[in-house]
Chain A
Amino acid sequence: MTQVTLSGLTKIFDQKSPPAVDNLDLEIESGKLTALLGPSGCGKTTTMKMIAGLLRPTAGDILFDGDSILSIKPEERGAVMVFQNYLLFPYMNIADNIGFGLKMRKVNKKEIRSRVQDMLDLVQLPGFEDRKPNQLSGGQQQRIALARALIVQPNVLLLDEPLSNLDAHLRDEMRVLIRRIQTEMGITTVFVTHDQEEAVVLADKVALLFDGRLQQFDAPDSFYDTPNTVDIATFFGGTNFIPGYYLDGTITTDIGVFDAPNSLVPEGDAVLSIRPEAVDLGEGGENSVSGTVLSHVYAGRYARFQIRIGDIEIEAVTEPGQVKLFADGDNIPVKFDPDKIWVLGPNTAEQPAATTG
């Protein structure tokens, strides 16, 4: 079990462009599955390579269980990285690929053979020993790459987009597999993805990166309920934003004044955010305003409404039973549940999270 700490970790490839990884502080818990989430080019792979010892940081430190490991060679770090494009050695068969790490550790041939078998069973590809990598599908190669890393029983497992090349069905299967193996072996695992849904489904904690900077490091649901910035809320998607002015637990907007008791931003310009599920249609009283139904879509287990309030359009998601209650063009009361209103600062630059350190 290993706890991984990144402290002020920075990588500058080239002085003319901004840092690929910028002053990153992260506490990766021992034995947990942590997702490194962010759009393409935000520095995820670069961060993983630095943890694995395959790339020298420009500044900052990496600690395993409190000790700096910067001077330890990659082959001795006990951190194994599985690359985005699997990189199975093309001229070795599958058995030799999986057994590579053990061969490097001078494990005897007989034991290697039996452990390779175990690994093939684990990733559900028994009987593939003698195939060459180019005779495998992308998904199979990805599973072999995972087996090749797991066989050495690493303290830290670094998975770079392990599910990116799989179809939806295989992806679900692999998610379950990764989660199961990770829990069983208790390996500290960092797992890169640019898909927020995947991060949320799979990880114990999610670190969100934009442009090499940490935006938020939290439990998955926090990104939906209490995002740090408008950018983060936008990245996770599906939220209504209404600009306004925040003062003492109340936000004043063009369409009305709302109680927002849970919000933490200072007084000033702000953005009210409320998820479509937290908008109650047809309910009056406190925190409610009057809106017009523009359109609605019945989508099986829920119904989705477009509502206009003043000059603003919002989205509401309700129980399917409510579809019949409102027709397009109806004027209805619309209530924002005060506990579910989350107020954000006006723009990213002024957010504390973006200027950490």
Chain B
Amino acid sequence: MTTAPAPLPGIAPRTIGRTTLRWAGIMGLLAFLVAPMVPLFIWSISFRWFYPDILPSEYSARAWEQVISPTNNVIGATGQTTLIALLCTVLSVLLGVPAGRALGLHNFKGKRIVEVLILAPIIVPGLAVVLGIDTMFIRYGLSGNILGVTLVHLVPTLPYMTLVMSGVYANYDVDYELQARSLGAGRWATQRYVTLPAVFPGVVVGALFTFLISWSQYVLTLLIGDGQVETLPILLFNFARSEPAIAGALSVVFILPGILVLLLSSKYLSGDSAAVGGIGNI
């Protein structure tokens, strides 16, 4: 990223130069990510587009009309995808932050084993994991509904969140908390004024990417959703073969959160925040 010189003590950093560089970086990254989507967008508004034409010979808004039209349930699927991703993010944060803290801060017997076990769902293909738990989900009525899909999305997201947070906490000095206690802060005040500000950027970045991981799940949703839970990726794959124009329009909808997340997290990813160092540990 930017290689601004370290500020001299007592002299405010040259914020203008840094900000400009940062935005240039983000724009570059966006262009890189968006460029492949340009043809998709053109697909979505084309009516006739044959080789060797560079641009379609005829345009149409049909695909976008289809996207908005209730018959294809794109809006419903978008809502469903968002809901699942949000639930999944909340659960991942609630469980992953304390788990990451335990892993990052404390040494305990079997810590290595726990670390390897946490990595397992990332190393072992999700498909294998899901095939293993599918029958259990069916037995407990978690197959074919949002709850089940949310839970199965935790398979990749929870380890991810835990690892991000363990990295954040590994760079965190608990003595700050002890110092706050000694100065008169209770447990809650310490968490609020000392711990939270220190780990917050890590939580935000972890949560945003957790959201994206859940948002883009296909295989897990397909298997556990059992055709009952229709998310954007499912819809997208359905249209990919038959209706490239609609698939193009859907893809545009599909990547929007990714771009939003990138913009939202850029502050933390390229910022001076100490917590971001933790992400390097993954």
Contact = CB atoms under 8 A, between A and B. Distances in A.
B227 to A, nearest CB: 49
Interface in B134-189: 173, 175-176, 178-186, 189
Nearest to B181: A74
A82 B198 CA distance: 20
A105 B184 CA distance: 7
Contacts of A87: 173, 175-176, 179
A232 interface: no
B194 A89 contact: yes
A81 B186 contact: no
Given A89-B194, A135-B7, A136-B9, A104 B182 contact: no
Contacts, number: 69
A80 interface: yes
Nearest to A81: B182
A327 B175 CA distance: 59
A137 B9 CA distance: 7
B98 interface: no
A100 B180 contact: yes
A92 to B, nearest CB: 8
Contacts of B180: 89, 100, 104
A213 interface: no
A52 interface: yes
B219 to A, nearest CB: 41
B179 A104 contact: no
Interface in A57-88: 73-75, 79-81, 83, 85, 87
A101 B194 CA distance: 12
Interface residues of B, number: 22
A338 B167 CA distance: 65
A44 interface: no
B9 A75 contact: no
Nearest to A137: B9
Given A75-B186, A135-B9, A83 B274 contact: no
Given A90-B274, A135-B7, A54 B176 contact: no
Interface in A129-148: 131, 134-137, 148
A83 B175 contact: yes
A101 B184 contact: yes
A99 to B, nearest CB: 10
Contacts of A274: none
Contacts of B175: 83, 85, 87
Contacts of A42: none
A83 B179 contact: yes
B79 interface: no
Contacts of A73: 181, 186
B70 interface: no
A54 to B, nearest CB: 4
Please report whether the interface of chain B is mostly helix, strand, loop or mixed according to DSSP: helix
B125 interface: no
B7 A54 contact: no
A134 B9 CA distance: 7
Nearest to A84: B175
B128 to A, nearest CB: 40
Contacts of B179: 81, 83, 87
Interface string B2-15: 00000101110000
Given A80-B182, A83-B179, A137-B9, A104 B189 contact: yes
A54 B181 contact: yes
B176 A101 contact: no
Interface string B185-202: 110010001100110000
Contacts of B176: 87, 89
Contacts of A131: 10
A75 B184 contact: yes
Nearest to B186: A75
A14 to B, nearest CB: 10
B18 to A, nearest CB: 15
B184 A152 contact: yes
Contact of A135 (B10, B181, B197): B10
B178 A54 contact: yes
Contacts of A101: 183-184
Contact of B183 (A91, A134, A135, A148): A148
Contacts of A230: none
A104 B188 CA distance: 11
Contacts of B198: 90-91
Nearest to B200: A91
A49 interface: yes
Contact of A91 (B10, B11, B178, B197): B197
A75 B274 CA distance: 27
B197 A152 contact: no
B183 A100 contact: yes
B173 A104 contact: no
A149 interface: yes
B176 to A, nearest CB: 5
Contact of A100 (B7, B173, B185): B185
A16 to B, nearest CB: 13
A79 B182 contact: yes
Nearest to B179: A87
A148 to B, nearest CB: 7
Given A80-B184, A101-B183, 14 more contacts: A54-B178, A75-B184, A75-B186, A79-B182, A89-B176, A89-B180, A89-B194, A100-B183, A100-B185, A104-B183, A104-B184, A104-B185, A135-B9, A135-B10
Interface of A: 49, 52-54, 73-75, 79-81, 83, 85, 87, 89-91, 100-101, 104-105, 131, 134-137, 148-149, 152
11 contacts: A52-B182, A73-B181, A75-B181, A75-B186, A81-B178, A85-B175, A87-B176, A89-B193, A100-B180, A104-B186, A148-B183
Q: Name the 9 nearest CB pairs between A and B, nearest first.
A: A104-B184, A101-B183, A74-B181, A54-B178, A87-B179, A81-B182, A104-B185, A75-B184, A101-B184
